[in-house]
Structures are given as structure tokens and as C-alpha cells.
Structure 1
Amino acid sequence: MTRRPKLACRACHGAVLQHAAPERLIKGGLPTERLVTHVIDAKYHWHLPLYRQAQMLATHRIAIDRSTLAFWVGYAAQELKPLWHRLRQLLLASSKLCVDETPAPVLDPGRGRTKTGYFWALSRDDRPWAGPDPPGVVYAYAPGRGAVHGLRLLEGYRGIIHCDGYQAYKTMTRETRADALSGTLAFCWAHLRRQFVKIEREAAPAPAPVAREALERIAQLYAVEKALRGRSDAERRAGRQVHARPLATALKQWFEAKLDHLAQKSDTAKALRYALRHWDGLTLYLDDGRIEMDTNAVERAMRPIKLNAKNSLLPVATRAPRIGQFWLR
């Protein structure tokens, strides 16, 4: 409720004054900033799609259409855009960033189905080495996952880019694009490890000795990281040189030896070639205490995006365009 007191002077004739109405986020609109904030918080923090929020409001006899809620969210996003630009500017000043992208279904009006868009994320989390900068993450939507979209988000960055082995990241850092981006790629051990986990799972109940030993050797590297977590970057680098580098050197030699005895088209051989092809980026963390072994920090930051997409899938009984066996609103 907005209170606008009227004031009058008994000694004056017809002199009545009233406080001006306060400015609102949506000029001439009914929603207050608190209401719009509540809608945004429910959508992005608690992962409640707008159609569910409209249904919840309807139970309180408040009839607000989903399209109206979407308009509020879009209006608020424009007001928050300068804050997004400032946060991105702060993150691009970091010495190291994690980057990742994930698909997201996007409504495609008029076609009766969805198209695939992508959310990109830049993440900084220096807490594992007690860095001075606070953690932060910036999200951006793009219609694809090609290098052109990553360059737009990372334009001008000159630090270490921690990512998976996706080809677009390599394209982004080629010399031909040095005017737009000049960064060093550090690759993710978790992505390599998942390949061996998949091989072992698909081989069960039959044994997969190469995949099993690879996982055990990678676990030894992670055990070193666990012992060094929370220490300074200099301490982490020194500890890695003493304990992790010999393990990594032995692991590379083991990969090369095993590759010669495997069918070259097998999944295990492909995983070994992936490791050897990205070896410099995988072992870059040994020489820099600021770099993590994996990109789990940015993958954790992506979870809200996946939860939002999952919660937007409705039972078949809902009236909406059909997408496979679900309905998307």
C-alpha cells in the first residue's frame, strides 16, 4: 500500500497539497519493487517457473498471467544490466577464470516446439588457495556454443582460461584471434576421469583393467590436491612439484605404453589419446598454485540453470506445445 497524505492550510482557500507518488520500477504499473524481486527470487533462486508462480498466486485469488510475470522479469533484467556489466568487468580482471556452457531448451513461438540455446558461465573461485578476490559468476545466453559466442563473453581477457577440451575454446585462443582474446588454456581432469568411469560402467560386469587403473592413478593426484587445499598458491605449487609431478609423469608414460596395446578404435584408446593430446593443459596446474585440477566450480554454478530447465518440464496432461514426452512452459 502506498500512502500519499494530503495537506491543507485552514488559512488558505483551496490550497491542498499531496505527496508525489514514488517512482516505481515499472512506471504506471501496479507491481512494487518488492513484488518483482519476489518473482525473480522465486524463479532463479528457488527454481519456480513463472507458470507455477501464476498458479500459486491464483490459489490466493490473485490473477496474474504468466506473460505479465515474464514482462516484469524482463523489465527488471534491463535495470540490472549495468550490474551484470560491472560484475563481468571485475571477473575479466582476474588472473584465472573457469568457463563452461550448457544447453537449455528455449521456446520457439509459432513452431510448436523448442530450440536449443546455451547458457555460458564465467566463474571465479579463489578460495581453495586463499586468494584475495571474492567468488563470483556471470551468466550469459547465446543461441549457440560456437567460438564466436565465447569470444563475445571473454573479449579482451588475458589470463588463464580453465575449461574442458571443447574445440571452441582452442579456436578462441588461436593466434589469429589474439586481438580478441589472449589466454592460456588449463584443461579439466574431471572430464578425463568421466571417460574412464563411463568405460568401466559400460563394461560391467566384465572387468575393464585399463580404465580401473587409470581411475586409481588419477585418484592419487586428487589425494595430493585434497591435502593441499586451503594453502597459499606458493605452498600448493611446491607440494605439487614434490608429490604430484612424479605421479603425473608416471601416468603419462603408462598412458603411452597402454595405447600401443589397445585397439585404436576402442573407447579406452580414445580416452588415452584425449589425455595425451591435452596433456600440457592438464598438467598446467602443477606449475601454478592458483589453478585447480578441474572445473567443478563453474559446473556447480551451472546447476541452477539445469534445475530451472528441469522444473519447467510438465506432465503430459498440461495444455502446452508437446516436446517429446514432456510439455515445456
Structure 2
Amino acid sequence: PAVPARWLVRLDAFLAGRGQSLPDHPAQSWLKQLDRPDGAPVAATPPAPRPPLSRRPRRLSVTEIETWIRDPYAIYARHVLKLRPLDPLEQSVDASDYGSLVHGALDDWFREHGTNWPANAAARLQSLFLARLDNAGLRPALAAWWRPRLTRIAAWVAEAETARRQNGVPSRIVTEARGRTRMTDLPGGPFDLTGRADRIDVFEDGSASILDYKTGSVPSNTNVVAGWNPQLPLEAAMLATGGFPDVPPEPGDKKPVSVTELLYWRLTGGASPGEDMGVTVKDGTIAELAVLAWESLRERVTAYDNPDQPYLSHPHPGNEPRFADYAQLARVAEWSTAREDGSE
């Protein structure tokens, strides 16, 4: 768009006074025609790929199960098409780096002081957090922004952990526990579920707690119980079936570890530096929730062992993934807009 030249305006006025006009040149419509398909426009439709069973994944992590529920197409793009999203060319330090710093400091701390809680825990934990920050080599402005937040997180963790131990001290604490459990008796063959638990506390009576550290948002209790965020219940199911080799029963134990607590630690370092959010089941127990999550996964794997089952994109409106790496590939903006306009 531009302002017409004066001589063009004067020419138009002169011709208008004589009841004349210049015909439009066809070039004026060429630009519009570039974006207009031949014939009637056809609305984009949601993708529904159906790859052969031999190409469908037989191993996923507990975090990928949530993606599989909310956006199956993302699993197809990542594990069947083998596509990986590229990082920005000038990627800056962001929230994920902050989370890695917090996770790393807590991992170091509980590996060393898991069952032997020191008296001056707050001061020593703060020193550990700040040492991690100094070793990260961040730009001074960002380090200055994160420093007080990390200090507050360390103080909150020391206070929260001291309070937790009033109800019993774990006999073992395993951090960054890696696990794998195999699901058998499936139409398409065995399916492996993998995972890494931030922390598992085991007590002398055979009960266990699974803790997950979050520096960002925490799933609601409703979504966890309903199965939209199955990470912790699936980790509990893995632990109950011996899927974490670093957390075996003690020698002489006659029964496997039973998970009785699923807990999120939301660690932001803000005005409220931390918050512990336990998963509660209104009608049932944590162990029963783990069984339901496991059976739900079995049903999903069985459904996708059917070659007619497509990998749909965002099949549950209102429960889309928070981060959709393959939304552009699936043309979500096009077909979702067409659906809202009623043209599909």
C-alpha cells in the first residue's frame, strides 16, 4: 500500500470530470491470484497417518505417554518419520537450563545427604546451589537474577525435607533412578516403557514415595487422576513391578516396594519459593491409581497394534499438549480454523 503520486491523482480527477476512466490492468489482480487455488477452495483436513505395524514404536518413555495421549501425531512424526525439531540459531539460556541447574543441585545433595540429614542443611544446600550457579558460566545479569531465587529454593527444600522426616526417615533415597518395564501378551509384540524418576524414597516398611521436581507448571491433581498426566502413576507402576533396578527390595524382603505417595515439588524461587503438591485419590489408593494407569497404557498399545488405528493430531480439543513441536507439520492452524468456521 502506498499514497498515489500527485500526477496520478490529478489525472484521475481530470478523467472523472470528463466522465471517463482508465481500465484496470490485469496485473492488479495477479498478486491476489497467487494465494487463490484453481477452482473452489478445499479446506485442510487433519492428518491421519496409518504406518505399518513394523514402523510403529515399541518403546516410549513415561513422559512420551502423555504426548501419545494428547497428540499421537507427534509420536508418529518423532518415532516413525524420525523428525526432530531444530533449536533456534541463537538459542539463549531459558527455563530448561534453570530446571537442569535445580535438578542437578538436588541430585548431588540427596546422593550425599539422603539418609544422613545435616543440622545446618539450609546453609550448606544454599552453598551447593550457588556453587552450581557459578560453575554454569552464565552472563552476570542472568546469574544475578537467578541467585536469590536459588537461595530461596534451597532454604525451602531444607525446611520441607526437615518437616517430611518428622513422619519417618527413609531407609534409602535413590535419585535420577532409571527404569524399564516390559509389557507382554500384546498383539504387536512386547512393548517397553522407560522412565527416570527424580527421586524415590523407600522406607523400612516397604512403602515408597516418588518425588518429581518442577521449576515450571505442575499438572493438576484432577488431570493426574484422570490420566491426562500419567507420568508419576506410570513410574509407580514400574516400581511396583521391579522396573527400577536401583531400587530393589532389601535382602530378605518378602514383598516388593509399594508406592504410597506421589509428590510434586514446585520450585520457582519466587515470592512462594516452593510448594509440595501430593497426588490424592478420592476413591482408592495410589497403588490402585498406578494399576489403572498401567492398564490404560496396555489398552492404548493394543489399540495402536491395529493397522487401521491412525495417529491423529490433537484429537481431544481442550486437552492439547502445552508444547506442540509438530503442529506446523500437521497444519493444525489450517484445519482447526476451518473446523471453527464450520467449513469442514
TM-score of the aligned structures, taking structure 1 as reference length: 0.21
TM-score of the aligned structures, taking structure 2 as reference length: 0.20
From the two aligned structures, give the one with the greater helix fraction.
1
